[in-house]
Amino acid sequence: MHNIWQQQLKQALSGRTSEKLRQHPDFSHAGDGLFKTVITDEVNTAIKESSQPHVLLNQFLPINRETNIHPDFNQDPVGDHNALAQQGIIHKYHGRVLLVASGSCAVNCRYCFRRHFPYQKQLASRRNWQAVVSYLHNHPEVHEVILSGGDPLTLTTQSLTELTDRLIDLPHIKTLRIHSRMVTVLPDRIDGEFLNWLDALPWRKVLVTHINHADELTHKAMGSLHRLKQHSITLLNQSVLLKNVNDDADTLINLSHKLFDEGVLPYYLHLFDRVQNAAHFEVSLSRAQRIYARMRSQLPGYLLPKLVKEEAGEHSKTPLI
């Protein structure tokens, strides 16, 4: 029997929850053909309740501009392919590896830098988990494992347990980090079974949320964050600076305060990754720096996310201030 969240995810992936979006006058079937439209009922609710519904909508609505091809944009803007150590393992940075644990998301963000990623060929799926363990065993300098995707929390808790059970015997692993949008787009995913799994893990646990606008924090989303805090999970947030979504200082200042209200520390503010078919989201560096300067003048240091850019081939994210 499926849990509530699995039923909700199935509805999103089947397209049932995107029917209203498909009736929008700006909906592009061509854009949808390039990157499937996926949205959850929770996001539909957030859009409906937002004081600026078009701002949230812009993250998920395919438009005709996605069909434009720009020579300075590409399908792998952050150099994931060259950093693939083996199937499903991205090893860019010292001391940590990223597992592409799932190729699915509960929502498809139109600006996603992995919208062209070949998940069918490069997934750390169950059939090659032993190869993942072998790789980590041969790299004792790795102390942090990052679960990413797609969204790793589209995996069942049973699957997550099977994966982490294989990692427990690696003494050099100290931290498990999870990157997920589920706390806001499918908050029922943060259920008792999932929290029990987290409690049983022997490592430091970090969950990085991906929230770009304060209106994404619905009542149910805030409840999911509260449940995580009760279980002593370190909560961080990273945002992407997106044109016509959050490209003004007041919006981002408000987001930082709202995140802190819910026990989440702002971590990164990313410059948009120049992925093909999403150029309309780009904010210029000069404008980003002006926005950030105002944020810095208004926020205490602990609420000021780092303004960064991820560049292919670099050994860390590049600070822009």
Residue-wise pLDDT tens digits, 194-223:
999 999 999 999 999 999 999 999 999 999
Q: Is 109 annotated as a binding residue?
A: yes
Q: Is 105 annotated as a binding residue?
A: yes
What was the pLDDT predicted at 137? 98
What was the pLDDT predicted at 114? 97
What superfamily would CATH give domain 73-319? Aldolase class I (3.20.20.70)
How large is the greatest C-alpha to C-alpha distance in the chain, in angstroms? 55
Q: Which residues contact 177 (CB under 8 A, 6 or more apart)?
A: 96, 144, 145, 146, 147, 206, 207, 208
What was the pLDDT predicted at 225? 98
The alpha carbon of 124 is separated from its chain's Cα centroid by a whole number of angstroms, namely: 17
Helix axes 157-167, 192-200, angle to 10 degrees: 0
What was the pLDDT predicted at 228? 98
Q: How many C-beta atoms lie closer than 10 Å to residue 120's C-beta?
A: 8
Q: Which residues contact 16 (CB under 8 A, 6 or more apart)?
A: none
What was the pLDDT predicted at 165? 97
What was the pLDDT predicted at 315? 86
What was the pLDDT predicted at 112? 98
pTM: 0.97
Enumerate residue ranges in the chain where pLDDT < 70: 1
What was the pLDDT predicted at 160? 98
